[in-house]
Amino acid sequence: MLDKIALALTVIGGVNWGLIGLLQFDLVAWVFGGQDALLARIVYTLVCLAALWCISFFFRENRVVER
């Protein structure tokens, strides 16, 4: 479950950076009231932590889980 949350937050961060690069629009800042707003800073921090967690994906063995 933690992997899926981390991946979702990393995707949110990637989309946000894409919008910044293409349109100069920071969606997180817009939603949460600016880059300096506490909630925006929390989201930025969570995205960073999620991206760091996702680095571990490179070092894991691929396992197929059958249900």
User: What's the confidence (pLDDT) of residue 55?
Assistant: 95
Q: What's the CA gap between 22 and 3, in Å, rounded?
A: 28
The predicted pLDDT at position 65 comes to 72
| Average pLDDT score over residue span 6-21 | 96
What is the distance between the alpha carbons of residues 19 and 31, in angstroms, rounded to a whole number? Answer: 13
Name the pLDDT band for 61 (thresholds 50, 70, 90).
confident
43 three-state secondary structure: helix
| Tens digits of residue pLDDT in 14-47 | 999 999 999 999 999 999 999 999 999 999 999 9
pLDDT of 66 above 80: no
